[in-house]
């Protein structure tokens, strides 16, 4: 049994596998959607982190899965957008163990300081 190549490809494979499953696609269907087509075994190797993926194949995989390439690349989560107020609140609640009333006070203070009177 071959070893996994690098952690990057293992993480990439997990993302591809997860999205493929959500789309109710088989490995064979995904492989056939590529140009040139790949075998089911090749897709299985990619999903298991045993095979490197060429840039043009990554692009085709994203297109076939209906996602942006950035969604497949490990470590790129959230880089394409600024955090929303809900993201910030969730992190504050998690990291600082803040309760709802304290978050409401912080939200009010933040709105006052930015001139956002919502």
Q: Is residue 80 part of a domain?
A: no
Q: Is residue 100 part of a domain?
A: yes
Q: Does residue 84 carry a pLDDT above 70?
A: no
CA distances from 118 to 42, 69, 79, 106 (A): 53, 36, 27, 14
Q: Is residue 33 part of a domain?
A: yes
Of the chain, the end-to-end C-alpha distance in Å amounts to: 60
Which CATH number fits the domain that encloses residue 39? 1.10.260.40
Query: Residue 59 is part of which domain span?
Result: 7-72
Instruction: Render pLDDT for 50-63 as a digit per residue (tens, 0 to 9).
Output: 999 999 999 999 99
Average pLDDT over residues 26-47: 96
Question: How many independent structural domains does the chain possess?
Answer: 2
Asked if 12 and 62 sit in the same domain, the reply is yes
Instruction: Render pLDDT for 92-114 as a digit per residue (tens, 0 to 9).
Output: 667 777 666 776 776 676 666 65
Report residue 118's pLDDT band, with 50, 70 and 90 as the boundaries.
Answer: very low
Asked if 51 and 93 sit in the same domain, the reply is no
Q: Is residue 19 part of a domain?
A: yes
Asked if 16 and 47 sit in the same domain, the reply is yes
Asked if 13 and 65 sit in the same domain, the reply is yes
Q: Is residue 89 part of a domain?
A: yes
Q: Is residue 2 part of a domain?
A: no
20 with 28: CB under 8 angstroms? Answer: no
36 cis-preceded (ω within 30 degrees of 0): yes
**Chain Cα centroid distance, residue 29:** 21
| Closest to 72 measured CA to CA, from 25, 19, 29 | 19
The whole-number pLDDT of residue 101 equals 73
Q: Is residue 79 part of a domain?
A: no
Q: Does residue 3 carry a pLDDT above 70?
A: no
| Closest to 47 measured CA to CA, from 56, 39, 35 | 39
Q: Is residue 20 part of a domain?
A: yes
Asked if 63 and 90 sit in the same domain, the reply is no
Average pLDDT over residues 25-54: 96
């Amino acid at each position: 049994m071959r070893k996994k190549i690098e952690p990057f490809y293992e993480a990439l494979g997990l993302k591809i596998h997860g999205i493929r499953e959500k789309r109710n696609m088989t490995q064979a269907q995904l492989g056939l959607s590529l140009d040139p087509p790949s075998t089911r075994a090749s897709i299985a190797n990619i999903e298991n982190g045993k095979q490197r993926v060429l840039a043009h194949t990554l692009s085709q995989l994203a297109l076939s899965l209906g996602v942006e390439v950035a969604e497949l690349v490990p470590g790129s989560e959230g880089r394409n957008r600024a955090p929303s107020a809900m993201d910030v609140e969730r992190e504050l609640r998690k990291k600082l163990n803040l309760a709802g009333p304290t978050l409401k006070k912080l939200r009010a203070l933040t709105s006052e300081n930015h001139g956002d009177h919502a």
